[in-house]
Amino acid sequence: MKNIINKKDVEYVARLSRLKLKGEQTEKFTRQLNTILEYIEKLNELDTSKTEPTSHVVPLRNVRRKDFQKPSPTVEEVLKNAPDKERGYFKVPPIIE
């Protein structure tokens, strides 16, 4: 198995994703992610020097809508699945600036 990413990279990505990894998980994910990346690396064998960069595979373009307002769901409905709420707001753990 190649070492495309190491433990440090995984820890960094975990931090960016706000994930707490427990001891052996870091090692395990490093191993698993390397396997995935190694598999994906196969794509690099293709010669793409003459291919335009592609961001979308569906040949769609210019999908636009009119600036017409539609009713929004009620606040009750909006907050129905919220773990916590107060006076019509979503209530979340304190955000420290």
Partner 1 sequence: MEYEPVIGLEIHAELATKTKLFCSCSTKFGASPNSQVCPICMGLPGVLPVVNEKAVEHMIITALALNCTITRQTKFDRKNYYYPDLPKNYQISQQYFPFAKDGFLEIKLLGDEKKKIGIGNIHLEEDAGKNIHLENGKASLVDLNRTGIPLVEIVTKPDLRSPEEVEIFMDTLRDILLYTEVSDCKMEEGSLRFEANISVREKGQTHLPPRVEIKNLNSFKIVLLAIKHEIERQTKMLEKKEKVLQETRLWDEEKQITRLMRSKEEAHDYRYFPEPDLPPLFISEEEIEKIKKEMPELPNVRKERFITKYRMNEYDSRIILSDKETADFFEECLKLGENVYPGTSIFSKDIANWIAGPVTRYLNEHNTPLSKTQITPQYLVELISLVNKGLINQNTAKNILPEILEKGKAPQEIVKEKGLIQVTDEEEISQAVDKILKENQQVIDDFKKGKTNAFSFLVGQVMKSTKGKANPQTVNKLLKQKLEIL
Q: Binding to partner 1 (CB under 8 A): which residues in 48-67?
A: 55-56, 58, 60-67
Cβ distance to partner 1 smaller for residue 19 or 38: 19
Q: Which of 24, 68, 80, 83 binds partner 1 (CB under 8 A)?
A: 68
Q: Which of 8, 15, 31, 80 binds partner 1 (CB under 8 A)?
A: 15
Residue 4's contacts (CB-CB under 8 Å, 6 or more residues apart) are 33, 34, 37, 38, 41
Closest to 26 (Cα-Cα) out of 4, 3, 6: 6
Considering Cα of 74, then 76, then 80, then 85, what sign does the dihedral take?
A: positive
User: Of the listed pieces 1-9, 21-29, 42-50, 81-89, which binds partner 1 according to CB under 8 A?
Assistant: 81-89
Cβ distance to partner 1 smaller for residue 1 or 53: 53
Residue 1's contacts (CB-CB under 8 Å, 6 or more residues apart) are 31, 34, 35, 38
Contacting positions for partner 1 (CB under 8 A): 12, 15-16, 18, 55-56, 58, 60-70, 72-73, 75, 78-79, 84, 86-95, 97
